[in-house]
């Protein structure tokens, strides 16, 4: 598994993946920004406490400080 760091909301977040291309990373950043602006309370809570992201296929698993706030986000 490979690790890459991204900046989101003035925090450095590690992104773990087995294979990812530039299109996937762009889709991830676009989805995160979109969900932060227009997402419901549960996803905003997850994004506020985001500690890492795991890319599996076309989904991003968003890991937060509280395990119960962890969510899956479709990228495509």
Residue whose structure tokens are 């227009």:
38
pTM of the predicted model as reported, rounded to 2 decimal places: 0.89
pLDDT of 57 reads 87
Strand arrangement of the beta sheet that strand 2-8 belongs to: 2-8, 11-17, 50-56, 59-64, 71-74
Averages of pLDDT over each 10 residues, the chain, 76 residues: 92 91 89 91 90 93 90 90
């Amino acid at each position: 598994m490979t690790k890459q760091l991204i900046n989101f909301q003035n925090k450095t977040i590690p992104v773990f993946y087995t294979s990812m291309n530039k299109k996937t990373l762009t889709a991830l950043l676009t989805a995160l920004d979109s969900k932060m602006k227009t997402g419901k309370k549960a996803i905003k809570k997850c994004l506020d406490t985001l500690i890492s992201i795991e890319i599996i296929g076309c989904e991003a698993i968003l890991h937060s400080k509280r395990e119960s706030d962890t969510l899956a986000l479709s990228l495509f």
